[in-house]
Amino acid sequence: MAWMAWTWPTAAFFAVIAALLVIFTVLAVKFPETPRRGVLGIETTRGDRLFITLLASAFLNLAWLGFGIAPQPYALIACLVLAAGIFRFV
């Protein structure tokens, strides 16, 4: 594993994503759902909304950094707000 040049932050990052995937898989099995249509006009399940959230969060973080809006950790708060919005309305 040394060749992969691991660091604690990146390991934690991947651990969180892996945990999210596991949680959402378990949720999908335990509590099956029917896809619903949101503001984007497409049918989404919880998993789709998670994917959209993660992708949007990545872009939000980059925009946050690129435009120098505020110190980077605050972007995470914005991401949580974004996630809540996506899970509620998409």
Footprint of another protein (CB under 8 A):
2-7, 9-10, 13-14, 42-43, 51, 55, 58-59, 62, 65-66, 72
Nearer to another protein, 13 or 88 (CB): 13
Nearer to another protein, 4 or 34 (CB): 4
Nearer to another protein, 10 or 85 (CB): 10
Closest distance to another protein from the beta carbon of 4 (Å): 5
Q: Is 60 helix (H, G, I), strand (E, B) or coil?
A: helix
Q: What is the 3-state secondary structure (H, E, C) of 18-58?
A: HHHHHHHHHHHHHCCCCCEECCCCCEECHHHHHHHHHHHHH
Measured distance CA(1)–CA(37) in Å, rounded:
43
Q: Is 83 helix (H, G, I), strand (E, B) or coil?
A: helix
Closest distance to another protein from the beta carbon of 48 (Å): 9
Closest distance to another protein from the beta carbon of 80 (Å): 19
